[in-house]
Structure 1
Amino acid sequence: MAVVAGAALALSVVPLGLHTMLGCAVLDVGCAPAEPRGRLPELTRLTPVEVALSGGYVALGDSYSSGEGVYDGAGAPAGDGAARCHRSDGSYAPQVAGAHAFGGEAGFWACSGATTGQLLRGQHGHAPQVSRVSAGTSLVTLSIGGNDAGFAPVLTECIAKLPWSSACVDQDARVRQRIDELRPRLRQVLAGIRARAPEARVIVLGYPRPFPAAPSKTVTNLSAADQRWLNGVTRLLNDAVGAVAREFEQLITAFGAPGSVEYVDAYDAFDGHEVGQPRPYLNGLVVDLGELTVNARSFHPTADGYRRFAELVNERIAAGPGRPMNNFRLATP
C-alpha cells in the first residue's frame, strides 16, 4: 500500500501530460498498445497454373497417350518398360513436360492397350499406372476408355468386312453396352488418382473424331455410312468420359476441395485433318507388308496429331477449370 500511495503522491505533483507516462512506468496501466512485432501468416489462393506446376507431372493412359501412332520399335523407348507399352517421346506427354518448369519430376507411364482395369491393377507385369501418382503430384493427364469400348476389334471388324456388308454398324448395340459399362470403372480410376493426389489438377482428354464430319467417299473399305457410325460411337465414348469427369469436378467444387478434374473434349480437335484428308493428324490403315499384319499405328495420332494434343493440354493448364482453385499457400511475411 505504501508503494501505491507513494505513486499516487508522485502523480499528483507532476504536470498532467506526464500522468499517463508515469502510470504506465510505475503501475503498468494506461500504456499505449505495443507495436506488433510481426504479421500473422497469410493464406494465398493459388492460380490454376501455380497449382499445376507446384509439384510433379504424371502422364497416364492408353495408346493415345503412350504415343502409339509415332512409336518406332527400332528407336530407344521412353522410360522403364516402354517397349511393351509402345511409349514414345513423340507423344504429347513429353512435349507438355518440356514446356513447363514443374516443381517436381515428370513421369510418363501411359501404356498402349491399357484399360481402366489395367490402370488400377497393372499391365505387362508393371505396377499399376495409378500407383505412380503421389501426394507430390500436381498435374495428371489421362486418356482412357477406348480399349474398354473395344475400339481396336471394332475397327478390325469394320475394315475386314465384305464391301457390301453391314458388319461394321451391326456392332452398335455391343459397343453402346461397353461404353455404358465404362462409367463405373472410370469413376474408380479417378477416385484412385484423387486419393493419391487430392490437391492435383487432373486433365482428362477425350478422343478426336476419326473421319470428316460429313464423309463423302470410302476410305480403306469404310463406307461413308461406316465412317459416320464410327464418328458417332466416338462421340458417345467422349460423352461418357466427359460426364464422369464433370461429376467429379462438381463434387470438388461443391465441397470447396482443392484440386480439380477437368475434361478436354478433343472430338473436333483434328477438324480438317481426319483420316482421308490431305494432311491427316491420324494415321490411316498401316499394313506391314512383310508380315501381312495391321500395324498398331493405324488410326492413332501422327506427329502433328500429338503436337495438337500437347496444345490442348497446355491451353488447359493456362486456362484452368473455369473457377477459382481451392488450393492455398501459407505465406509467412
Structure 2
Amino acid sequence: MRRSRFAVFVISTLLATGTALTGAAAAQASQTAATGGYVALGDSYSSGVGAGSYIRSGGDCDRSTKAYPYLWAAAHSPSKFDFTACSGARTGDVLSGQLGPLSTATSLVSISVGGNDAGFADVMTTCVLQSDSSCLSRIKTAKAYVDSTLPKQLDTVYTAIRSKAPNAHVVVIGYPRFYKLGTTCVGLSGTKRSAINGAADYLDTAINKAAANHGFTYGDVRATFTGHELCSGSAWLHSLNLLSIGESYHPTAAGQSGGYLPVMNSAA
C-alpha cells in the first residue's frame, strides 16, 4: 500500500520524537546513577583483565583503568566509585570480599559473574589441548552445572546486592561469543568453536533469567562484539597467549571500550 506524503511525514516525526525521548531518558538515567555511589563488582571481565593499564593497588585482581567500570566512572563522575571486581572471582568471592562498599547511598551497581563458577578456564583448557569429543563432553558438564547449580548461586549474590544496596540500579553484564564461525581460522576446529559459542549463549541465557527474576537490568554484549570475535580479523578478544595465559580469551582494551562500555552506557 502506498503511503501519502503526509503519512510519511507524521511517521517520521513520531519516530524522531521517540528517539529524542529515548535519548533524554537514557541521559536522565545516567545522571541519576551518577548522583550517588557506583560500585563495580564481578570477575575478570569487569576488572579488565586483558586490557592492560592495571591499577597497582589492585594487586592480583588486575583492575584496569581501561575496563568499562573505570571508563564509565571517568565519563559520568559518580559521587563515589568503588572498583572491587577481581580476576578469577566466583559468586562466593563476590559475597565474601566485594560487597563492602554497598550501602543505601549506592545508586548504581554493575556485575559480571558466573563464568568461573561454570568452569570457564577448564573448558577452554580442555578444548585447546584435547580432542573435539573431550571438548564437547566438558562443555556438556558445564551446561549441566549452569542448569543445576548456578541459578541458586546467582540468586544468592543478587539477593545480597539488593539487601545491601536497596536503592541501587543494578546492571548485570553478560559474556561475548568467542568465535566468528564459517571462516577459515588457525587453531580450534569448527566443531569446537561452535560449541564454545553455544556454551556462551547458554550461560548468558541463565544469567539473563536470574537477573530478570530480581528486576535487574541485563546488559547483553554479544551484539557489540559481533564482527570482533576471534577469527574475525578484527578481534576484541585475546586468543591463546602463552606469554600471559591469564589474558587469554579476555577482552582487549578495544573490547572494553567498544564492546562493554556502550552496553553499560545504555543499561545504566
Q: Where does structure 2 lack aligned partners over 5 or more consecutive residues?
A: 1-27
Counterpart Cα distance in 2 of 1:312 and 1:87 = 19
Counterpart Cα distance in 1 of 2:182 and 2:145 = 26
- Secondary structure of the corresponding residue to residue 133 of structure 2: coil
Which position in structure 2 is the counterpart of 1:118?
93
Which position in structure 2 is the counterpart of 1:61?
42
Please tell me whether the aligned partners of residues 183 and 231 of structure 2 are also in contact (alpha carbons under 8 angstroms).
Answer: no
Give runs of aligned pairs for residues 88-127 of structure 1, distance below 5 A.
88-102=64-78, 104-121=79-96
**Residue-by-residue CA offset, 1:13-47 (whole Å, 9 max, x unaligned):** xxxxxxxxxxxxxxxxxxxxxxxxxxxxxxxxxx5
> What amino acid is aligned across from residue 172 of structure 2 in structure 1?
V
Which position in structure 2 is the counterpart of 1:208?
176
- Which residue, out of 200, 206, 212, partners 1:246? 212
- Which residue, out of 132, 142, 146, partners 2:115? 146
**Residue-by-residue CA offset, 1:67-105 (whole Å, 9 max, x unaligned):** 111236xxxx4264x121111111111100011132x21
> What amino acid is aligned across from residue 105 of structure 1 in structure 2?
K
Please tell me whether the aligned partners of residues 51 and 200 of structure 1 are also in contact (alpha carbons under 8 angstroms).
Answer: no
Give runs of aligned pairs for residues 285-304 of structure 1, distance below 5 A.
285-288=240-243, 295-304=245-254
Counterpart Cα distance in 1 of 2:36 and 2:195 = 42
1:218–1:279: structure 2 CA closer, same or farther, 3 Å change rule? closer
Runs of 4+ in 1 over 4 A off after TM superposition: none
Please tell me whether the aligned partners of residues 219 and 263 of structure 2 are also in contact (alpha carbons under 8 angstroms).
Answer: yes
Counterpart Cα distance in 2 of 1:301 and 1:50 = 27
Counterpart Cα distance in 1 of 2:193 and 2:173 = 22
> What amino acid is aligned across from residue 269 of structure 1 in structure 2?
T
- Which residue, out of 194, 198, 210, partners 1:228? 194
Counterpart Cα distance in 2 of 1:285 and 1:233 = 18
Q: How far has the Cα of 1:178 moved from its partner?
A: 1.6
> What amino acid is aligned across from residue 44 of structure 2 in structure 1?
S
The structure having more radius of gyration, on CA atoms, is 1
Q: How far has the Cα of 1:56 moved from its partner?
A: 0.7
Counterpart Cα distance in 1 of 2:160 and 2:108 = 14
Please tell me whether the aligned partners of residues 79 and 108 of structure 1 are also in contact (alpha carbons under 8 angstroms).
Answer: no
- Pick the structure with more helix per residue: 2
Counterpart Cα distance in 2 of 1:262 and 1:132 = 20
Counterpart Cα distance in 1 of 2:222 and 2:30 = 25
When the two chains are superposed, the root-mean-square deviation of aligned CA atoms in Å is 1.5
Which position in structure 2 is the counterpart of 1:155?
124
- Secondary structure of the corresponding residue to residue 287 of structure 1: coil
TM-score normalised to structure 1 length: 0.69
Please tell me whether the aligned partners of residues 215 and 227 of structure 1 are also in contact (alpha carbons under 8 angstroms).
Answer: no
Q: How far has the Cα of 1:50 moved from its partner?
A: 4.3
Report sequence identity in percent.
Answer: 37
TM-score normalised to structure 2 length: 0.85
- Secondary structure of the corresponding residue to residue 50 of structure 2: helix
Which position in structure 1 is the counterpart of 2:135?
168
Which position in structure 2 is the counterpart of 1:198?
166
> What amino acid is aligned across from residue 133 of structure 2 in structure 1?
S
Please tell me whether the aligned partners of residues 71 and 297 of structure 1 are also in contact (alpha carbons under 8 angstroms).
Answer: no
Counterpart Cα distance in 1 of 2:207 and 2:240 = 26
Counterpart Cα distance in 1 of 2:207 and 2:160 = 16
**Residue-by-residue CA offset, 1:136-195 (whole Å, 9 max, x unaligned):** 110011111110110111101111115xx4211121331112212111111111111111
**Residue-by-residue CA offset, 1:238-273 (whole Å, 9 max, x unaligned):** 000000111111xxxxxxxxxxx1001112221111
Matched positions, count: 239
- Secondary structure of the corresponding residue to residue 299 of structure 1: coil
1:52 aligns with 2:24: no
Give runs of aligned pairs for residues 312-327 of structure 1, distance below 5 A.
312-317=263-268
Please tell me whether the aligned partners of residues 123 and 139 of structure 2 are also in contact (alpha carbons under 8 angstroms).
Answer: no
1:215–1:83: structure 2 CA closer, same or farther, 3 Å change rule? farther
- Secondary structure of the corresponding residue to residue 191 of structure 1: helix
Counterpart Cα distance in 2 of 1:144 and 1:105 = 22
